[in-house]
Amino acid sequence: MKITMYLKPSAVIEELKASTKEAVLEELASVLPLAGRNDDWEKMVKVLMAREKLGSTGIGDGIAIPHGKLRGLDHLMIAFGRSKKGVDYNAMDGKPVYLFFLLMAPEDSPGQHLKVLARISRLLKDETIRKKLIEAKSTEELYRVIAEKDEES
């Protein structure tokens, strides 16, 4: 299961403008295909914030993988964003987060959801990949770094 099956180049944000957890979630959610349907977008942000209240999805090493499930989705969706300044995201290691993968899954897809979360985690464990993502000069380069690593494993 490849990340690029669900992450489209149009859902990659080179430099997030947001500086708070909720604003990051809103900005990332805004690039997903259903963002044009305002009621679904609002529900998505509420689901993501509810998940964050259970415990931060900031997993350390400058990474956060906010995720949730939404009724009415027919397929999994991923957005990626980078913040060169870093965001205080209440990450497990107490450090700022620079790299964000947002994952929204259909309500009835536990297996698929967990497999993609695990794949993203494995990808970001590689310090070289994290460095390449931080240093990428364009949206296209960000996507290419993810896609090339995705093809390797």
Token readout for 46 is 């509420």
Q: Which residues of 126-153 are buried (b: 16+ CB within 10 A; e: fewer)?
A: eeebbebbeebeebeebbebbeebbeee
- Alpha carbon of 41 to those of 9, 13, 107, 123: distances in Å? 19, 17, 15, 27
Token readout for 62 is 């400058």
- Among 103, 63, 56, 69, smallest CA distance to 86 is for 63
Q: Which of 67, 113, 130, 149 is catalytic?
A: 67
* 75 among known catalytic residues: no
Name residue 87's beta-bridge partners: 97
Q: Which residues are catalytic?
A: 67
